[in-house]
Every structure is written in C-alpha cells, then in structure tokens.
C-alpha cells in the first residue's frame, strides 16, 4: 500500500517523498482500490498478457501491464538480486500510476531520487514469488 501511495504522490507532484512523509500518508484502517500486481511471476504468464497491454523489457526483468484488466506483472531474470526486484517494482508502479512505460533514464532518475530521499534501494519487503527465467 505504501509503495502505491508513494508513487501516486510522485506522479501527481513530481516530488519524491522521504520515508517519514510516506509513512504518514499510509492509512491504518482504510483499504484503497489499487491496481492488481504480481511480482515474480512466470515469464509465460507475463507474456500471455502482452497482447492487451504495455510491456517493458530490461536485462534483469520483464514487465507487462494489461490495460483492460488493470493488472501488472513482473517476471525476473535468473540471477537478479533484491535491487533488481525493487527496480522492477518501481517500474511497474510507475506504469500503474501513469499508464505508460518509463524510459530507462527516467527509471534511473527515480531510483537515484529514492536513494537521495533516504530510501534503501538494495533491499525491500515486497513479496516476490521465486519464479525466474533464463535465456536459452
């Protein structure tokens, strides 16, 4: 929830909130209607959604956002680490909040901004399934 709130605020204001600010915005009792997401899914499941949506291919992950169902998924490359997972999640959240794929430069700027604002960019507490893919 905090992750979505943070990125919704970023898209609306262009500012990267610090840890304390983002924590204060998270509701304790209310549940927000947020787009569905699946971190760490099978590549085959992700590729099945490509026809109806937007996709982003990176050396460490592959993202698809199905516009019709408002559902985003991330498939991770074998050998990716927690920092790569966080980068993939950031990319997907930007897609979910804006409805468009960020450029690699824009993604780099957001990651640098997160680190400058006091966020840890090498670890996270997001729930990722352990499916990965590799090249043949």
Name the pTM for this structure. Answer: 0.81
Mind listing the pLDDT tens digit of every residue in the chain (136 residues)?
Answer: 567 777 777 888 888 877 677 666 666 555 555 678 899 999 988 887 777 788 888 889 999 998 888 889 999 999 999 999 999 999 998 888 888 889 999 999 999 988 888 888 888 888 899 999 988 7
Beta strands 132-133; 71-77: pairing state: parallel
Q: Which domain holds residue 35?
A: 2-133
Query: CA-to-CA distance for 72 and 51, rounded, in angstroms?
Result: 13
Q: Are 119 and 72 in contact (CB under 8 A)?
A: no
- Overall domain count for the chain: 1
């Amino acid at each position: 929830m905090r992750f979505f709130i943070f990125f919704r605020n970023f898209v609306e204001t262009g500012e990267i909130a610090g840890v304390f600010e983002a924590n204060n915005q998270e509701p304790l009792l209310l549940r927000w209607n947020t787009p569905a997401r699946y971190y760490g899914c099978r590549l085959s499941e992700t590729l099945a959604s490509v026809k109806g949506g937007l996709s982003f291919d990176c050396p460490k992950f592959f993202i698809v956002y199905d516009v019709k169902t408002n559902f985003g998924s991330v498939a991770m490359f074998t050998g990716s680490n927690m920092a790569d997972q966080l980068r993939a999640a950031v990319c997907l959240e930007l897609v979910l909040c804006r409805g468009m794929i960020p450029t690699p430069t824009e993604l780099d700027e957001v990651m640098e901004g997160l680190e400058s604002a006091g966020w840890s960019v090498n670890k996270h507490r997001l729930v990722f399934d352990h499916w990965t893919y590799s090249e043949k």
